[in-house]
Amino acid sequence: MAKLTEGKILQSIVKLGLPIMGASFVQMAYNMADMAWLGHVNSETVAAVGVSLFFIWFFNSLLMTTKIGAEVTVSQAEGAKDYETSNRSAFTAWSLGVILSVVASVIVYIFAPKLLALFNFDKPEVAQIGTTYLRWCALGFVFAFGNPTLSGVLNGKGNSRVPFVLISIGLVLNIILDPLMIFGYGFVPAMGAKGAAIATVLTQVLVFAGFIFYYLKHEIQHHAFWKFDFQIAKRIFKVGGPAAVQNALFSVFSMVLARIVAVYGADAVAVQSIGIQIEALSWMTALGISTALSSFVGQNFGAQKHDRIRKGVKYSLLVMSAFGIFISVLFMFGGSNIYKIFIGEAAAQLLGGKYLFILGVSQLFMIYEITGSGLFYGLGKSQIPSVVGIVFTGLRIPLALFLAHQMDMGVYGVWWSVSISSFVKGTVILGLTVRMLKKMKHQEQESIDVELPEVALS
């Protein structure tokens, strides 16, 4: 396990962040592979699966409680060299994750038709395809949602390599199974969206089995691992809960926006569904650094090394600023060409180019929001970025309605509401991050001033 309290700061963050980033990209690639293959079926199937992913996103967001809670509690315990608490935190987080994922699985399977009906599709087959896809995915929630928690424990310990390797193996299997089960081959019938869901579930089962094997071999020798701690459970909910609620509400707000977009036709829904997966290129990268920064801050906070925290945050923001500028240029001037990879219809490609241009305007500030949040998560103050995210993301809905209808901007108004809110959130989080760093420096200076007279007297 990596000790993030020692060594070169930027190197430590990047070394931990790259595998996390890679794992995030691979996880994103599961859905992108589905969308890429299904894009060659028809727009209705893409729209159905795209909308279904909103609901999967919602429940996955709620279950991020255990992942984020594990990363913070484990990293802070590791930094303080309290390894018994670290092990108890790991088992407690994993146990909570299993319970929550089973509940989510039952809810989604039973209510899938009603969830899809919320979008009032003009073609009944779209809702039917979405229901089938959603139900098959629900059968694998224990594995799909358990894996992030197991990853979070290892991230908190400074070991991001194992999750990356396991998830990458799953992606390879998914790439092989996707076309086979979507289009059929030999004795395997063509199953369309249902086949894509089954392929994804099978890969998640494989990844989960890999995690269990690794834990049995390397992490469970200590007897404390098997102890469920109710006090730690409360802390996990306290730390991970606000971030999970923020992500869950983010998915709800996105679903509402998607429903508004649905008025403008299946092409608009398909473009936005694919666009969300494309935009993940930037926010997954930022999330990788943010997660690494969170573990870095957590361990150094536990070790009371505040100067390393300040430098780590500054270096992370500097690196991500350069990336944000690059991704903005890519989206704004290469959008239509990017869409050609995912959908074959020329009209949808053109519309997709406009979508990415609008989102490209605010990519740098979206990256500031995500990266800066890593500081607050690591300190156990997840409520700060969560409140900012909930308030300004929620304002997207009235802004979207105003721009789309009152300003006659149509679907472009909906997309501009997303970009404008990202700009505001990034600006606010950046300001709060700078303020927190100054506060930490001031508190540390006060601590030194108090200790100096004692040194003089000695």
454 pLDDT exceeds 60?
Answer: no
- Range with the lowest mean pLDDT among 133-142, 252-261, 318-327? 252-261
Instruction: Give yes or no for a contact between 127 and 121, defined as CB atoms under 8 angstroms apart.
Output: yes
Which tens digits make up the pLDDT trace of 39-84?
Answer: 677 667 777 887 787 788 788 888 888 988 888 888 888 888 888 8
Instruction: Give yes or no for a contact between 53 and 38, defined as CB atoms under 8 angstroms apart.
Output: no
Please tell me which residue, 38 or 327, carries the higher pLDDT value.
Answer: 327
Give whole-number Cα distances, 77 to 5, 24, 290, 296, in Å. Answer: 12, 25, 19, 12
d(CA 410, CA 428): 28
d(CA 411, CA 421): 16
30 pLDDT exceeds 80?
Answer: no
For residue 188, list its beta bridge partners: 185
Closest Cα partner for 51 from 345, 339, 268, 360?
268
* pLDDT of the residue at 105: 93
Three-class DSSP category at 188: strand
Instruction: Give yes or no for a contact between 412 and 358, defined as CB atoms under 8 angstroms apart.
Output: yes
% the chain with pLDDT above 90: 29
Q: Which two tokens stand for residue 160?
A: 């991001």
d(CA 225, CA 204): 24
* pLDDT of the residue at 326: 94
Amino acid at 54: F
* pLDDT of the residue at 283: 84
Model confidence, pTM: 0.78
- How many other C-beta atoms are found inside a 10 Å radius of the C-beta of residue 124? 8
Alpha helices in 340-378 (DSSP H): 346-360, 363-378
458 pLDDT exceeds 50?
Answer: no
Name the pLDDT band for 445 (thresholds 50, 70, 90). Answer: low
Name the pLDDT band for 2 (thresholds 50, 70, 90). Answer: low
d(CA 403, CA 259): 16
Q: Which helix (H) or strand (E) holds 325?
A: helix 306-339
End-to-end Cα distance, the chain: 39
Average per-residue pLDDT for the chain: 85
Q: Which two tokens stand for residue 436?
A: 């927190």
Give whole-number Cα distances, 158 to 12, 74, 77, 341, in Å. Answer: 9, 10, 12, 36
> What is the tally of helices (H) and strands (E) in the chain?
16, 0
Name the pLDDT band for 216 (thresholds 50, 70, 90). Answer: confident
Name the pLDDT band for 256 (thresholds 50, 70, 90). Answer: confident
d(CA 288, CA 49): 26
Instruction: Give yes or no for a contact between 352 and 335, defined as CB atoms under 8 angstroms apart.
Output: yes
Name the pLDDT band for 327 (thresholds 50, 70, 90). Answer: very high
Ordered by start, the domain boundaries in the chain are 9-446
455 pLDDT exceeds 70?
Answer: no
Please tell me which residue, 397 or 224, carries the higher pLDDT value.
Answer: 397
